[in-house]
A and B are shown apart, each in its own frame.
Chain A
Amino acid sequence: MNVLPLMSILTLEAAEGAGHAAEAAGGAEGHEDVAAILMHHVLDQPFFGFPSKHLAFFVFAALIVIVVTQLARLSYKAGIPSGIGSLVETFVVFIRDDIADKNIGHGDGARFTPLLCSFFFFILIAALFGLLPFSATSTGNLAVTMALATISFLAQQWAGISKFGAVRHFVGIVPPGLPKWLLPIMIPVEVLSMFTKPFALMVRLFANMLAGHMVITALLLLVPLMAAISSGFGVAIIPVSIGLSLFIMLLELLVALIQAYIFTLLTAIFIGMYAHPAH
């Protein structure tokens, strides 16, 4: 039935909206409080005894990634996967062929594929978790994305150091064959770019996840906001608010996939730049 997925998405949304509205209606509605409620929904909070909701969902996402991949591994019978194994295999083969081999290449792709798969699956599942009601996106926390970016940075450095040894790696960061007077400019630039690349990865992922959820929260908060002015407005804005939120949530699904892909792709490109410089 074509209606069934739509109904389930709508109930998911109604549940999330009810969660937001229940908390919003509890406090007085002023312009200060709207901002506070908005931030309250996207910032970290304690969660059923856990000090940090983002940490709790970080652990859930990691557990789900481990469980799914182990189930996929176990579903291999005589070299042919079935069920969830074929889904996971599609992604892994895509990462190995189109991301790792194309960008790292020269036989190093297979070495880095497990790391890239971990990044991809974790970011994807953490983002998908954030769409469920009463949950939080763990990658919407700067600390989590900083950790991912640090691992990416260490992988890039290790790629160069394991191939060339520490000294040659750092010396080889600057492209060879430069005129001598260019070196004082190029060395700081290259060192700085070594750090800005993971920094950009961190902020890009964080901002994408945060912005999506703030937009959804803001749209759903329109309902109690309008209802505080007059209950007629409140009722009238409900279909608009839910419709827009539904659209943004579908967009969030797409954004989750794209951001996971971009993080993985950029990590692979940077690893390739350090493992095979002066391509």
Chain B
Amino acid sequence: MPTDPKALAYFAAGIGAGLTIMGGAAGIGRLAASAMEGIARQPNAAGDIRGAMIVAAGLIEGVTFFALIVTILLAIK
């Protein structure tokens, strides 16, 4: 286990980035799956569902980016 603080910081940044993307991708994947299902059930609601999907994806990605900024700070500083 490296004890040099810079090494630990890089280690933590790597793990943090992985966890961040796991959470974000899982959330957006579920969102996309339900959106596809909804469009399949009601093709004429496709426009509304697509709009709502994009908004929700943007919000989830926003949260993901909060965490990403923390990991980037760890790697840079």
- Which A residues lie at the B interface, using CB under 8 A? 35, 39, 98, 200, 203-204, 207-208, 210-211, 214, 258-259, 261-262, 265
Contact between chains at B76 and A211 (CB < 8 Å) = no
Contact between chains at B76 and A203 (CB < 8 Å) = no
Per the bound structure, the CA–CA distance linking A203 and B61 in Å amounts to 11
A35-B75, A39-B76 are known contacts. Are A211 and B59 too (CB-CB below 8 A)? no
From B62, B75, B76, contact of A204 by CB (8 A): B62
Contact between chains at A207 and B68 (CB < 8 Å) = yes
Whether, in the assembled complex, B55 has its beta carbon less than 8 Å from a beta carbon of chain A, the answer is yes
Whether, in the assembled complex, B65 has its beta carbon less than 8 Å from a beta carbon of chain A, the answer is yes
Contact between chains at B69 and A203 (CB < 8 Å) = yes
Contact between chains at A262 and B55 (CB < 8 Å) = yes
Chain B residues within an 8 Å CB radius of A265: 55
A35-B75, A35-B76, A262-B59 are known contacts. Are A207 and B65 too (CB-CB below 8 A)? yes
Whether, in the assembled complex, B54 has its beta carbon less than 8 Å from a beta carbon of chain A, the answer is yes
A35-B75, A35-B76 are known contacts. Are A211 and B65 too (CB-CB below 8 A)? yes
Chain B residues within an 8 Å CB radius of A207: 62, 65-66, 68-69
Tell me how far the C-beta of B63 lies from the nearest C-beta in chain A, rounded to whole angstroms: 8
Per the bound structure, the CA–CA distance linking A210 and B71 in Å amounts to 14
Whether, in the assembled complex, B43 has its beta carbon less than 8 Å from a beta carbon of chain A, the answer is no
Chain B residues within an 8 Å CB radius of A203: 62, 65-66, 69
Whether, in the assembled complex, B18 has its beta carbon less than 8 Å from a beta carbon of chain A, the answer is no
Tell me how far the C-beta of A259 lies from the nearest C-beta in chain B, rounded to whole angstroms: 7
